[in-house]
């Protein structure tokens, strides 16, 4: 199936220019000298493009965002192509950021790529509390992810997590972390990919400033998660 046919299965309408950009992005991921995805092309249509866009059909991204632990640019690149908004993509692996930067520059996407550990970058003034939307996908268990992402979100903003079928168990372990970090559960959008995976898009609202001590050093976060 073509990408346009795949997206039509999910009732996602895209114009030809957008489709062409997504196609170039998928080809970039598949042919990258750094291992960025392990999918075949048609599988990537579902698991990269559709998976990113399904929960955003009724939740448009209208202002600048951050993508923490972006890897090969998922979901940040797809979000930027779709909504033409500025974003900051953060990853701790230098090779991934360097390779991704070439694609972003070729496509002239309004994205800032940052090679840094999230727990360090979150303490910098130009990033802390500066984003209306903060994405994370497939980074770590939810209490850990919340500590890494919440400091980037401004009050009134959102932390947006893409999670798999075990999201309920992760959420149950996260109530204390949410309370400490200044987050409140807004909504959960559940959906299923045509490739069989059950997915959840968890929308958390930033209601208070995250205490300055967070995020802690990663070894502390991992050893003693908030929860």
Q: Is residue 11 part of a domain?
A: no
Which pLDDT score, from 0 to 100, does residue 195 have? 95
Q: Is residue 157 part of a domain?
A: yes
Q: Is residue 134 part of a domain?
A: yes
Q: Is residue 113 part of a domain?
A: yes
Q: Is residue 10 part of a domain?
A: no
- Model confidence pTM above 0.85: yes
* Residue 69: domain span: 58-223
Q: Which region holds residue 73: left if phi is over 0, alpha if psi is between -120 and 50, else beta? A: left
CATH number where 171 lies:
3.40.50.150
Q: Which region holds residue 41: left if phi is over 0, alpha if psi is between -120 and 50, else beta? A: alpha
Question: Over 97-112, what HEC string results?
Answer: HHHHHHHHHHHCCCEE
Q: Is residue 49 part of a domain?
A: no
List the pLDDT tens digit at each of the 227 positions of the chain.
Answer: 999 999 999 999 999 999 999 999 999 999 988 888 888 999 999 999 999 999 999 899 999 999 999 999 999 999 999 999 999 999 999 999 999 999 999 999 999 999 999 999 999 999 999 999 999 997 789 999 999 999 999 999 999 999 999 999 999 999 999 999 999 999 999 999 999 999 999 999 999 999 999 999 999 999 999 97
Which pLDDT score, from 0 to 100, does residue 12 have? 97
SS3 of residue 71 by DSSP:
coil
Question: In this structure, how many other beta carbons lie within 10 angstroms of the beta carbon of residue 114?
Answer: 18
Q: Nearest CA to 75 among 95, 47, 98?
A: 47
Q: Is residue 105 part of a domain?
A: yes
Report the domain count for the chain. 1
Q: Is residue 96 part of a domain?
A: yes
Which pLDDT score, from 0 to 100, does residue 38 have? 83
């Amino acid at each position: 199936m073509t990408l346009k046919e795949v997206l039509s299965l999910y009732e996602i309408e895209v114009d030809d220019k957008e489709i062409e950009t997504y196609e170039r992005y998928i080809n970039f991921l598949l042919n990258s000298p750094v291992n960025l995805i392990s999918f075949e092309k048609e599988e990537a249509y579902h698991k990269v493009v559709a998976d990113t866009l399904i929960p955003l059909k009724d939740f448009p991204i209208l202002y600048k965002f951050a993508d923490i632990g972006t890897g090969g640019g998922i979901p940040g690149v797809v979000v930027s192509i779709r909504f033409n908004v500025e974003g900051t993509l953060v990853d701790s692996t230098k090779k991934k950021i360097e390779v991704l930067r070439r694609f972003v520059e070729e496509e002239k996407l309004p994205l800032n790529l940052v090679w840094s550990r999230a727990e360090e970058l979150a303490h910098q003034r130009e990033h802390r509390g500066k984003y209306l939307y903060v994405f994370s996908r497939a980074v770590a268990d939810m209490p850990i992810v919340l500590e890494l992402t919440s400091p980037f979100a401004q009050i009134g903003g959102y932390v947006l997590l893409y999670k798999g079928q075990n999201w309920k168990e992760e959420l149950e372990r996260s109530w204390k972390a949410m309370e400490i970090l200044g987050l409140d559960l807004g909504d959960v959008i559940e959906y299923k990919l045509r490739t069989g995976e059950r997915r959840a898009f968890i929308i958390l609202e930033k209601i208070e400033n995250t205490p300055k001590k967070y995020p802690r050093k990663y070894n502390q976060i991992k050893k003693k998660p908030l929860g």
